Amino acid sequence: MKLVDTQVAIASFLNPLSSLPGNKLIDEKLEEALQLPQYSLMYFDLDHFKSYNDTYGFNKGDKLLLYLTDILTRNIVGTEDFLGHIGGDDFVAILPHYKAAPICQKIIDEFDAFILSFYDVEDLTYLQVQNRAGELEPLSCTTLSIAVITNQYQQFESVDQLSDAVTRVKKQCKKISGSCYLIHDNEKETYLVH
**From first to last of its 194 residues, what are the pLDDT tens digits of the chain?**
554 444 444 445 788 899 899 999 999 999 999 999 999 999 999 999 999 999 999 999 999 999 999 999 999 988 999 999 999 999 999 999 999 999 999 999 999 999 999 999 899 888 888 777 788 888 999 999 999 999 998 899 999 999 999 999 999 999 999 999 999 876 555 455 55
Rounded Cα distance, 70 and 55, in Å = 23
Specify whether the CB–CB gap between 45 and 85 falls below 8 A: no
Q: What's the CATH number where 12 sits?
A: 3.30.70.270
Rounded Cα distance, 97 and 94, in Å = 9
Domain that includes residue 68, residue range: 2-193
Rounded Cα distance, 137 and 190, in Å = 32
pLDDT value at residue 7? 43
Rounded Cα distance, 12 and 22, in Å = 9
Q: Report how many domains make up the chain.
A: 1
Rounded Cα distance, 76 and 97, in Å = 12
